[in-house]
């Protein structure tokens, strides 16, 4: 498999959430080209489980698809913030819940041909509702939804859950979550 040698990297545009970049590269055979991509600080997602075994989800409008999306609480990692600090903040902002325990279950790259975006997945347990969701800067309106895992999976089958990060995170965490729910009799 041929590797590419980066000759230069340029930031084309930058905002508080990401950088749009252009790299110039050369193949092992000497062919030159350009590669465009987005780079972020990464993101953290939490799958919160209530004491009665329900999953905490948020419904929010997604501009690019012009429709509501039901997702697990998730958001970008701010400068100088750890993935765990980000997931705690996002859980509070989007749901009003705090968790006493966070279990990291994995990470992945959500779109490795377009983004450099390390995505961290956690399970949040021992939840306490301490406030209402906080509207984000762009005016997002969030609705908190609680569902049992079987109800959540039925939503996936019906196409109600279409967010790729939520689907990938559930795939990585599902077995662990079901084990927790069974062990604790939730």
CA distance 34 to 71: 34
pLDDT of 97 strictly over 90: yes
- Based on its alpha-carbon atoms, the radius of gyration of the chain, rounded to whole angstroms, reads 19
pLDDT of 92 strictly over 60: yes
pLDDT of residue 16: 84
Least confident span in 128-137, 139-148, 158-167: 128-137
pLDDT of 137 strictly over 90: no
pLDDT of residue 183: 87
pLDDT of residue 177: 95
CA distance 62 to 85: 24
pLDDT of 133 strictly over 70: yes
Per-residue pLDDT of 4-63, as tens digits, reads 999 999 999 999 889 999 999 999 999 999 999 999 999 999 999 999 999 999 999 998
* Band of residue 139 on the pLDDT scale cut at 50, 70, 90: low
pTM for the predicted model, two decimal places:
0.91
Question: At a CB cut-off of 8 Å and minimum separation 6, what does 66 contact?
Answer: none
Domains and CATH numbers, the chain: 4-39 (no CATH), 42-183 (3.90.79.10)
């Amino acid at each position: 498999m041929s590797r590419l040698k980066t000759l230069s990297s340029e930031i084309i545009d930058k905002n508080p959430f990401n950088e749009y970049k252009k790299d110039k590269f050369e193949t092992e055979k000497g062919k030159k080209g350009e590669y465009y991509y987005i780079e972020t600080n990464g993101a953290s997602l939490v799958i919160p489980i209530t004491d009665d075994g329900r999953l905490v989800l948020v419904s929010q409008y997604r501009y690019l698809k012009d429709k509501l999306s039901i997702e697990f609480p998730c958001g970008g990692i701010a400068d100088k913030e750890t993935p765990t600090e980000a997931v705690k903040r996002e859980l509070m902002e989007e749901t009003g819940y705090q968790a006493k325990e966070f279990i990291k279950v994995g990470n992945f790259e959500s779109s490795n041909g377009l983004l450099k975006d390390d995505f961290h997945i956690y399970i949040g347990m021992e939840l306490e509702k301490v406030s209402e969701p906080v509207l984000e800067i762009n005016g997002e309106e969030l609705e908190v939804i609680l569902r049992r895992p079987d109800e959540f999976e039925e939503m996936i089958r019906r196409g109600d859950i279409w967010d790729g990060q939520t689907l990938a995170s559930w795939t990585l965490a599902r077995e662990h979550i079901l084990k927790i729910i069974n062990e604790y009799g939730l």
